[in-house]
Amino acid sequence: MSAKHFTPLVASLPSTVPFVGPEAQERARGKTFRARIGANENVFGPSPKAVAAMQEAVAQTWMYADPENHDLKSALAAYHAVAPENIVVGEGIDGLLGYVARMFVEPGVKVVTSLGAYPTFNFHVAGYGGELVTVPYRDDRENPDALIDMAKRTGARLIYISNPDNPMGTWWGAEAISEMIANVPDGSLLVLDEAYGEFAPESVVPPLDVSNPNVLRFRTFSKARGMAGARIGYAMGEAELIKGFDKIRNHFGVNRIAQIGALASLSDEAYLAEVISNVSAARDRITAIAEASGLSALPSASNFVAVDCGKDGDFARAVLGALIDQDIFVRMPGVAPQDRCIRVGAGLPADLDAFEEAFPKALARG
């Protein structure tokens, strides 16, 4: 036996990491970053209630977590006013996107997404042999009409959109997304990634309708709830769709400490509001820093800001490199013309102090 006995599909896939982590960059550089504002993490961290609950839960690590995620699902159901049958909890949105790909994608199946949208979704689709069909951004936003049209034209089984969008931070209002949901063609499922939903104004997130079998909505504790390292997210949708996850999921895949922390986090809306306000202030400051260099930043409904470096992708890549050389961890969009921007996370004041100091130098070097 050897690697040559992989299934033909798996053999055809590259060995890859969709994102190189900041730790790998630090190892390659031989020094740490002074500002970690590149992975859309929430530097304000989890609720103190969640921290306390997790610290207490550490002593219980000898126990597997409840594979049905019962308590957390019940709390989420109450929070969102849906039934527990409409919720699946999993190992972050990444893990859940992998399950969705497995449920719906096989060789020959087409999947529509935006060119330059979330690479991990693409990784999972390719991993099950799906054929990705992409639609360009328009005015730095994903293009719901074009995504739907392309799905109709190609008979795509999945359509991916993130709202607010990653990597641009742009968004559509609830009405536009509701219209998109209404227009999902028969035979397609809309994968609506709302990882950044809590950062957006209320008018951005359309009402939940879990009777609609044409959409799955993905949420996470990684962003506004500050628990990226805990690996816990959830999807909401029609009960029969949700039941599909039980056919394939790693039932004992969720960390017990994460489960308990997530549950505690849900009970601290005051802290969530504080985080959202801190993130909003940080976005404003990033915009001001861009403007101080005569540049502009895109409006953002997420916890990061796309700063338009004012020239082309090569220039922005050079600016990014010069920031990294100054120990500022940031990332940037991969596709033109969005790659004229760098993506700067809503850091702590000290993080943004460092960015403010480094950015003009990076522009000068770029």
Q: Phi and psi for 353 in degrees, rounded to 5?
A: -60, -45
The CA–CA distances, whole Å, from 358 to 321, 325, 330 equal: 11, 10, 12
356 burial type by CB count under 10 A (0-12 exposed, 13-18 middle, 19+ buried):
middle
Q: At a CB cut-off of 8 Å and minimum separation 6, what does 265 contact?
A: 46, 47, 49, 50, 221, 225, 226, 227, 272
Q: How far is the CB of 215 from a second copy (least distance, A)?
A: 8
Beta bridge partners of 161: 192
240 vs 238: CA distance, rounded Å: 6
Q: How far is the CB of 153 from a second copy (least distance, A)?
A: 16
Q: At a CB cut-off of 8 Å and minimum separation 6, what does 15 contact?
A: none
Q: How far is the CB of 103 from a second copy (least distance, A)?
A: 5
Q: How far is the CB of 253 from a second copy (least distance, A)?
A: 5
The residue within the footprint of a second copy, chosen from 170, 214, 287, 302 (CB under 8 A), is 214
CB 154 within 8 A of CB 133: yes
Q: Phi and psi for 328 in degrees, rounded to 5?
A: -110, 115
Span interacting with a second copy, options 137-145, 196-204, 242-250, 336-344, rule CB under 8 A? 242-250
- Residue in this structure with the two tokens 């039934």, named with its chain if needed: 83
Span interacting with a second copy, options 92-100, 192-200, 293-301, 334-342, rule CB under 8 A? 92-100
Q: In terms of CB distance, is 227 or 358 closer to a second copy? A: 227
Q: In terms of CB distance, is 190 or 204 closer to a second copy? A: 190
Per CB under 8 A, contacts with a second copy among 5-34 are: 5-7, 9-10, 13-19, 21, 23-24, 27
3-state secondary structure of 134: strand
275 alpha-carbon distance from chain centroid: 17
Count the neighbouring beta carbons within 10 Å of the beta carbon of residue 26: 15
Q: Where are the alpha helices (DSSP H) in 117-156?
A: 119-127, 144-154
Q: In terms of CB distance, is 133 or 336 closer to a second copy? A: 133
Tokens representing residue 10 in the block: 């798996």
Q: In terms of CB distance, is 13 or 146 closer to a second copy? A: 13
The residue within the footprint of a second copy, chosen from 141, 231, 283, 285 (CB under 8 A), is 231
When asked if residue 91 is in the footprint of a second copy (CB under 8 A), the reply is yes
Taking residues 275 to 304 in sequence order and writing x for each that binds a second copy by CB under 8 A, - otherwise, the string is ------------------------------
When asked if residue 219 is in the footprint of a second copy (CB under 8 A), the reply is no
Q: In terms of CB distance, is 98 or 313 closer to a second copy? A: 98
Q: Which of 254, 253, 276 is nearest to 263 (CA)?
A: 254
Q: How far is the CB of 336 from a second copy (least distance, A)?
A: 26
Per CB under 8 A, contacts with a second copy among 172-201 are: 184, 186-190
Q: How far is the CB of 203 from a second copy (least distance, A)?
A: 26
The residue within the footprint of a second copy, chosen from 254, 309, 316, 328 (CB under 8 A), is 254
The residue within the footprint of a second copy, chosen from 246, 284, 291, 312 (CB under 8 A), is 246
Per CB under 8 A, contacts with a second copy among 29-88 are: 36, 39, 41-46, 50-51, 54-55, 58-68, 70
250 vs 163: CA distance, rounded Å: 27
